[in-house]
């Protein structure tokens, strides 16, 4: 199976597929604005595997996920909800995508909250956490997932404005959200940061983005040590080529069409193949895991 041009499911119904029916590749396509919109992607990303059964791993928990409107963040939200968690998502301005994610979480019988704003602004981060505590009654899992990337042919093409913006969203946002959330996190809480395979392999056209992702690895390791005495675990996930809205909103059509074809498994990955790593790191199954990185990347072997 190569291109899979099935229509999008109705709002509240996540895209699903069995493992053997996952798309191997996607048709060339682009979107003009970042971070991109899932409603404009063909095919839509697979959010959760057919037959994924929750077992109450996150029963009674409250999770906050940045970039939770689409892509990996949406998949994590749906998986968390199926495992019993109430879910708040933060997104920039993709209102249609965000409301679709809310409906998916609610369809799992859980409470959902969507908050629009820029995580790179410390005041917003604090306000968002306050809303989560006030409306959902607590916070147990923080997923710092939102990011942006802007490819450039040369380091000389990266403007000061782009450099500052990329670091503000990808790194400053993690600091601000974590600082705001920490007073509310109790022993047993989990923080999960989304880094990238580019932190380990590098990327010649994503110099600033790769730099932020490397910083996230260092932050994860350092913060895990800083919070160990409080019983708060901090880990990261480093996805490889995953089919999310960031891809068509970042790259040219030709690169989108070949996206993921160069990994050992020979295909792009789906959010549904990444989200279970977050479930593991958020749950008691990983109670002895902190400061680590999981690598769902299609078989690329990296150090770390």
Could you report the average pLDDT of every consecutive run of 10 residues in the chain (304 residues)? 46 70 75 73 86 96 97 97 99 93 98 98 97 98 96 97 98 98 98 98 96 99 99 98 78 74 90 97 99 97 82
Spatial separation of the C-alpha atoms in residues 207 and 219, rounded to whole Å: 18
Task: Please provide the DSSP assignment of 194-247 as one string.
Answer: E--THHHH--TT-HHHHHHHHHHHHHHHHHHHHHGGGT-EEEEE---SB--TTT
Q: What is the pLDDT of residue 40?
A: 78
Confidence (pLDDT) at 25: 75
Q: What is the token pair recorded at 290? A: 């902190």
**How do 86-91 and 112-116 pair as beta strands?**
parallel
pTM of this prediction? Answer: 0.91
pLDDT of residue 28: 77
> How far, in Å, are 54, 95, 294 from residue 126 at the CA level?
31, 21, 28
Q: So what's the pLDDT on residue 63? A: 99
Q: What number of helices (H) and strands (E) belong to the chain?
A: 9, 9
- Who's near 301: CB < 8 A, 6+ residues apart? none
Name the burial class of residue 5, with classes exposed (0-12), middle (13-18) and buried (19+) by CB atoms within 10 angstroms of its CB.
exposed
What's the pLDDT score for residue 32?
76
Q: Active-site positions?
A: 209
Give the per-residue pLDDT at 8.
52
Q: Report whether 245 contacts 71 (CB < 8 A).
A: yes
CATH of domain 59-294: 3.40.50.720
Length of the chain, please? 304
Contact 87, 68 (CB under 8 A): yes
């Amino acid at each position: 199976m190569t291109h899979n041009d099935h229509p999008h499911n109705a709002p509240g119904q996540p895209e699903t597929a069995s493992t053997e029916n996952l798309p191997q590749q996607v048709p060339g396509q682009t979107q003009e604005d970042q971070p991109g919109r899932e409603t404009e992607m063909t095919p839509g990303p697979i959010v959760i595997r057919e037959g994924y059964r929750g077992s109450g791993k996150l029963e009674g928990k409250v999770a906050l996920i940045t970039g939770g409107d689409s892509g990996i963040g949406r998949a994590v939200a749906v998986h968390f909800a199926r495992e019993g968690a109430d879910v708040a998502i933060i997104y920039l301005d993709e209102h249609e995508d965000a409301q679709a994610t809310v409906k998916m979480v609610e369809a799992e019988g859980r409470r959902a909250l969507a908050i629009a704003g820029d995580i790179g602004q410390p005041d917003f981060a604090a306000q968002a956490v306050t809303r989560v505590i006030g409306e959902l009654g607590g916070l147990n899992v923080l997923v710092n997932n939102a990011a942006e990337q802007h490819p450039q042919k040369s380091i000389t093409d990266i403007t000061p404005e782009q450099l500052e913006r990329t670091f503000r969203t990808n790194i400053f946002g993690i600091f601000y959200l974590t600082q705001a959330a920490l007073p509310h996190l109790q022993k047993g809480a989990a923080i999960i940061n989304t880094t990238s395979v580019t932190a380990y392999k590098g990327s010649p056209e994503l110099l600033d983005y790769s730099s932020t992702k490397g910083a996230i690895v260092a932050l994860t390791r350092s913060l895990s040590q800083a919070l160990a005495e409080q019983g708060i675990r901090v880990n990261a996930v480093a996805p490889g080529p995953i089919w999310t809205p960031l891809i068509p909103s970042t790259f040219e059509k030709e690169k989108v069409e070949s996206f993921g074809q160069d990994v050992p498994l020979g295909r792009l990955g789906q959010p549904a193949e990444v989200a279970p790593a977050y479930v593991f790191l958020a749950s008691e199954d990983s109670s002895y895991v902190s400061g680590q990185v999981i690598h769902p990347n299609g078989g690329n072997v990296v150090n770390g």
